[in-house]
Amino acid sequence: MISVLTKSLPEMTPRILFFAPCECLPANTGARLRNYHLAKALAENARVTYLCFSDGDISNPAMDSLEWCERIVSVRRPIGYSVGNLVRGAIGRWPITVLNYTTGEMASELNRLLNDIEFDAVQIESLALMAYLPIIKKARGNPIAIADWHNVDSEVFERYGRRAPSLARSAYARWTAARVRSLERKALREFDAHLTVSERDRLRLLEINPSANVFHASNGVDSDFYSEESCDRAWQGSTAQRRIDGDSFVAPGHHPKRNRILFAGSMDYFANTDAVTWFAETVWPDLHARYPELIFTIAGREPASEVRALERMPAIEVTGTVDDLRPYYREALAAVVPLRIGGGSRLKILEAMAAGVPVVSTELGAEGIEASDGENILIANTAERLSRSLSELLQDQELRLRLTTSARLLVRQRYDWSVVGEDLAFAYRSLIGDRRAQIPALVEVGA
């Protein structure tokens, strides 16, 4: 699918190819949200072509609505994690993470774009697209090649290997971690520059390769969209329909009763599945026994079978896909992030903070976010500590107010997408500031 849109930007405006493993709309995952906001920020003062894989139907009306993109090109994504790819990923040139996104059709589209258009930069949104780097390196005009690291994936696989449910999965994860680590070293040598979602990840990459050119453009949040006022309006609009639909968990009355413990995230992602299962089995029974009015709500698309099975436990709700999380934030006493696997940084924490919901998280769950335990978040690494922290929030209104006030200030000052856009603009000015006369205007990106 190819869409070409017109934009009123000067001809000499920089041209950027934004190359992603997925479409950015609907923005229903952390990766899609990041891709959407980074590409949109760049498009403020650059001509952006969005190249991506699509799932299912090649036609996506939501993507066609991206008027800030000059051009949108998508290629149907192949089936991921096929048996053949798993075998080739173990013994071949590329690990499974790369093979899942390597196709001749995408290589042809990329070649065509790079031959037709002289780009100033090509930004790829995952090392899963690493196999296409030789094509980018041969492009006319010698565009700067930028890798955006949503995670340090070798760490994610290492952590999964320690908690995998079987010896076979553990062994495959550890083997993949080693292969991905080698790929990361290669990427740090061969890309011209790198973006990370956190300062922690930036320093981690510099440990691997001190000479790498690494910039920090964090994950972010739309502070206005998730403000308490916005969440309240969304709740008022949704409550009547939810009661009509028979949602027994909707609190009665004209004001939301904050009785939810909320986990939000894609429920087909193994790190999230592990987190909610562990919380439900080790924390929830004791917490629910002491506070029977509480509801543990697991909100996110495509819940795995083991997550659906949790609904058999008392007062656990699994929503599946939720078009708008704001009504759930409005009813939440706390957002819980009991992650034991994963990497990068969690947009779910930033959304909860913007919505005025106190966050209780493991240290790993809060990794990459510059929050302080007891000031704007509560850190709890054990089941006992998670239960105790949530109990404290139930009993201490002053603690809730202190945490949420500080957290809202943090996200507005550091993690609003407008601030992230400024960080991205700084990186691009540093990289291609002398290539085009219009580049200094990139200082306005995201403003």
In this prediction, residue 99 carries a pLDDT of 85
DSSP annotation of 77 = P
**Pick from 180, 172, 174: nearest CA to 159:** 174
Higher pLDDT, 437 or 429: 429
Band (351; pLDDT cuts 50, 70, 90): very high
180 plus 91 within the same structural domain: yes
SS3 318: strand
309 plus 359 within the same structural domain: yes
Torsion on CA atoms 86, 31, 118, 116, rounded to nearest 10: 60
End-to-end, the C-alpha distance of the chain in Å comes to 31
CA distances from 149 to 127, 347, 386 (A): 7, 15, 30
140 plus 234 within the same structural domain: no
Beta strands in 56-135 (DSSP E): 71-76, 121-124
**Residue 171: Cβ within 10 Å count:** 13
> Three-class SS string for 246-315?
CCCCCCCCCCCCCCEEEEECCCCCHHHHHHHHHHHHHCHHHHHHHCCCCEEEEECCCCCHHHHHHHHCCC
339 plus 267 within the same structural domain: yes
In this prediction, residue 28 carries a pLDDT of 85
294 plus 193 within the same structural domain: no
- Alpha-carbon gap, residue 378 to 371, rounded angstroms: 9
- pTM across the whole model: 0.88
In this prediction, residue 85 carries a pLDDT of 61
- Alpha-carbon gap, residue 441 to 418, rounded angstroms: 15
151 plus 164 within the same structural domain: yes
Residue 397: which CATH number? Answer: 3.40.50.2000
Domain count, the chain: 2
84 plus 51 within the same structural domain: yes
Q: What digits encode the pLDDT tens for the residues 23-68? A: 999 888 899 999 999 999 999 989 999 999 998 665 677 787 788 9
Could you give the percent of the chain with pLDDT greater than 90?
A: 69
247-267: average pLDDT? 71
Taking the CA atoms of 317, 318, 322 and 328 in sequence, report the sign of the dihedral they define: positive
423 plus 303 within the same structural domain: no
Band (445; pLDDT cuts 50, 70, 90): very low
- Alpha-carbon gap, residue 83 to 113, rounded angstroms: 32
For 344, residues 6+ apart whose C-beta sits below 8 A from its C-beta are 30, 149, 150, 151, 152, 197, 198, 201, 219, 367, 368
34 plus 71 within the same structural domain: yes
CA distances from 391 to 130, 384, 388, 409 (A): 46, 11, 5, 24
Higher pLDDT, 433 or 125: 125
CA distances from 336 to 199, 284, 285, 325, 371 (A): 23, 11, 15, 14, 15
**Pick from 165, 313, 322, 328: nearest CA to 239:** 328
Domain that residue 71 falls in: 2-220+416-444
The β-bridge partners of 193 are: 146
Is the pLDDT assigned to residue 437 strictly greater than 60?
Answer: no
For 79, residues 6+ apart whose C-beta sits below 8 A from its C-beta are none
123 plus 261 within the same structural domain: no
365 plus 432 within the same structural domain: no
Is the pLDDT assigned to residue 108 strictly greater than 70?
Answer: yes
Q: How far is CA 300 from the centre of its chain?
A: 13
In this prediction, residue 281 carries a pLDDT of 97
190 plus 232 within the same structural domain: no
